[in-house]
Structure 1
């Protein structure tokens, strides 16, 4: 039985946009991927923080989702920079088709670098501000 061909560009797009929820991992590896479920669990964990500690700063309440999205951006780069032959060997072994990356993938990778590094630096800066100055700078 042939498997469905998985598109590397679409997987990178999913990781860029919905990577914090693990959608790209479910697309590539199926609905029972453990790391995908860990990404998806970041939303209930944030809800737990909101429910159990409503007085804590809002940044700490969304921190699990932020961390999950930063990891999703890293996974977008890993998927997008994987050579087509290796990607096909991993995810399209029985599909009978081959991947052919185009310029759209390059645009997605540049966007991922821009958004991902901005999110990472902003998260680290705000966490540093809250931990060491109790939010004196914002």
Structure 2
């Protein structure tokens, strides 16, 4: 029998490392293809952030890559909200079918609240940055 999967741990892993797939490795293991694909757009967004810091706001590649980082962070936060607000019955049926799992308390709810705060901030920042760069580039053309 495998250890029961914790909803609190999965939600916090999604919030803190969902952009690189930590929650998927925890829930589905190393054979999950999506877990291996998630780090690449996050890494590309990190390259955009590094280029933005070194080359400034006029770097066109940074303008394309940096919003990708915000979208990936928002994706992880949205996953934390989804996992944190899943009912205990659905969670146990999906991830702990052979054994009873302890009832969750405030851990997943707090992860969902933090996910709403951080995910909304990341998503709005990505949208605002992309829109600003679009209008700046179209005004100079």
CA RMSD of aligned residues (A): 2.6
Cα 1:63–1:37 shift into 2, 3 Å: farther
Aligned counterpart, 2:135: 132
How many angstroms apart in 1 are the aligned matches of 2:8 and 2:126?
27
TM-score by length of 2: 0.79
Match of 2:87 in 1: 83
> For 2:69 and 2:95, how far apart are their aligned partners in 1?
27
Aligned length: 132
CA-to-aligned-CA distance 1:52-74 (integer Å, 9 cap, x gap): xx843534333333322211111
Q: CA deviation at 1:109?
A: 1.3
Distance 1:88 1:18, change over 3 A: same
Q: Select which of 119, 123, 128 maps to 2:126.
A: 123
User: Which residues of structure 2 form unaligned runs of 5+?
Assistant: none
Which residue in 1 is equivalent to 2:70?
Answer: 66
Q: What is the alpha-carbon distance in structure 1 between the residues aligned to residue 120 and residue 69 of structure 2?
A: 16
TM-score calculated relative to the size of structure 1: 0.81
Question: Aligned pair in 2 of structure 1 residues 102, 66: CA closer, same or farther (>3 Å)?
Answer: same
1:9/1:101 contact within 8 Å kept: yes
Q: Which has the higher helix share?
A: 2
- Return 5+ residue gaps in structure 1 as ranges: none
